[in-house]
Structure 1
Amino acid sequence: MDFEFSDKVERLRAQLSDFMRFHVEPANHDWHREIAAGRYPLPLLERLKSRAFSEDLWNLFLPGLGHDQPGQRLSNLEYAPLAEIMGRSHWAPEVFNCSAPDTGNIELLQQFGTPEQRAQWLDPLLLGEIRSCFAMSEPDTASSDARNIQTTIRRDGDAYVINGRKWFITGALHPNCKVAIVMGVTGEQLEANSTERHSMLLVPMDTPGLEIVRNIPIMHYHSPEGHCELLFRDVRVPLSNLLGAEGKGFRLAQDRLGPGRVHHCMRTIGQCELALELMCERALERKAFGKHLSEFGNLQDWIAESRLEIDQARLLVLQAAHRMDRAGNAAARIDVSAIKVVAARLQTRVVDRAMQVFGAMGLTPDTPLSYLWTWGRAMRFLDGPDEVHLRVVSRAELAKARLALGNNAWYFVPPPGLAAPR
């Protein structure tokens, strides 16, 4: 398995790194100042998007584009190092039209949308003219098992009627968010554990009966684009707003989450690289007890352990992306569960060390570390909690063990003359 990047990817890495260094990073202070003043979306963001589009740093995540659609047509493995670079700033992916949840929604529309749905929603999403959200998680049920979802979708004449409550819906508060992909139950008569009960609908955000109840803070951090609670009261949309086929929403959700988890994990690795850089700089500059912090052995261990862990996680994510490209999303299911656990735990470990090196400053907004730690902790829930993904990995290992049961020769074989233990 060779993870050496092609000339095209190396060129894009250099181009994207330069764009981040010369355009995104210098705008970071202004971005935070404008957000603090309550102004969103920002003119500076639109200017950066226009520049990124003109430099063909656009829709980098999506391999299956038509010839008339903007983008680089990269595989998951090719996109992974670019997601790492963008991940160094939590707001940078929008500059390149690579933000979640738009990325997953674009992929769904690309694969399952009708020509009319693609014209209405996909084309403006690909151009960055609108944003979208994905409404799946619910407050009243354990959404880690999507079969539990309770939002109802019922036919009424020529329309579907939606009733239910969703929460932690990322991007719903963005002023440019124009459509939600909503997952709900259409097959109430089927058994509760059936994966054929759910469907997805395209719901314009201005549809009567759809209410944004609140923007939920993540450990006291409010995202300007929102992690929102949504209420659906008799929300009516035409039958033509069905995405894919009725009863296939569960499968669509699984298809959507695979590549998205690779994107999340690679952005996490970029954030860990940033945290490690900040930790090293601080250790070289700061003195305590007559020595630079970098001279203390325990800090040297933290730096070394962070480097080893980041590199290990990166290789695991690249392996998952490689398998996804070669064999499809379903074949990489176990790999994706593994990276989801590893990347989230990596972020909290590495960022925690960096915060400790910064001392009290690490708890403040003077560095990005406290935000990065918070996001890393949230990652242990996003796209499925650690425990669900560990279960996927362990069940695969046990299945292999059952097949091999009785064929393992690595048991104690006594030498001649020595009785076997009883």
Structure 2
Amino acid sequence: MKIGKFASKNNVTIDTIRHYMTLDLIVPEMNGSQYDFDERCQTDLSEILHFKSIGFSLQEIQTLLIFKRIGRLTGYEKSLYYQSFFKQKMNAINENMAQLEIMKDKLTHAMKRVEATLEKPEHHSVFGIPFSFLSQIACYKCKSTMIMSEGTVIDQRLVKGLLTCTCGTQYTIEEGILIVNSEDLISTHTDETRASFYVEYYIIHTDYEYLNNLYKSFEWAYKNIPFKVYENKTLLELGIGHGFFLRYFYDTIHSSNRYIAVDHDISRLKWLRNSLISNPTTFDLLLIACDFKKIPLHNNAVDVLLDISGSTNYAFDHPEFLLSELSQLYNKECDLIGSYLLFKNFSKNSRIEPFLRDHFKLKPVCEQISKLKFEEKLSYMSNVVTRGGKFEDFFVEGENIFSFICYGKRWG
């Protein structure tokens, strides 16, 4: 019988049969250029499938079959041997069951503790624009201060309303998020339930080494950049996405600071808002949905610039270096904390267009940062990775990328 028919007859795959052959669990005769599976093979496979069904590993099955083949046991001897082997397996199963019961009990208690933390509070915190931000919000066209023309205020926070400029520009506030121009926005999550599982989904479908590089980069920044010295400062994060950076440094941000997070994906900001309602920040937080070139702040308003892949993501579609486009927002003593995804090399099939590649090279990026008068104080380069995963598919086979983190201070 040929391998295909043999596999089909026993409801297993050809690959499974070949795997058993490599372990010598099945030993067919070679007939010409093909294997011939006879009754001995059928008997062996039936025993293999039976032993697997009662919990034996392939290694244990190898031992059983070798005793049968080499020992040439009589029926009585075979029964004695199998009885001994089965007793050993039963004892092992009983031990495992006892351990599993202990593990089950511990897991049950752990689940109860987690469920207790997930009980909905009687009162959710209010998410909206703190009044402390209103004086900093400006018209992106003429830089005049915006005036609240209508709005709903709860606990000194603007949760819904309209900001108007004398030039006619208007911003809306929806669910506590400042929206500059809805026509500039995208929405990658149309289903809020699906969005709530995005972080878990992202981690599952992203290469481990890529994620580990992200963790090591954040950990380096946590240990080396003096976040705790920032008090009464305005921090601006470009492209917050799902807030990986914010969540990592959540506990290090002083309560006197004002944190402004910008993204053009309104669905991600809504997801972040929903997650913060049950876990509010101690510092004032403003979420802005807008195009990067329309960030509604006064000139010189930013004390600490957080460019956590914001420039990198912008560079996929734009020839301009993002930080240069926003230079009017930084004050003369502004600090920069930047994280950039860079290429060691580009493949001939690269997805990065040639005219955009300088924004993905170490030297040109450092030169652009220097032109903005940021002096590098500390820097870190991650290990090289060759795979990203479902969501980080901007590089192809043969390309090597790494993360570059820069901490700089403006010198004038």
TM-score by length of 1: 0.22
The structure carrying a bigger helix percent of its residues is 1
TM-score by length of 2: 0.23
> Which structure's CA Rg is the greater one?
2
The structure carrying a bigger strand percent of its residues is 2
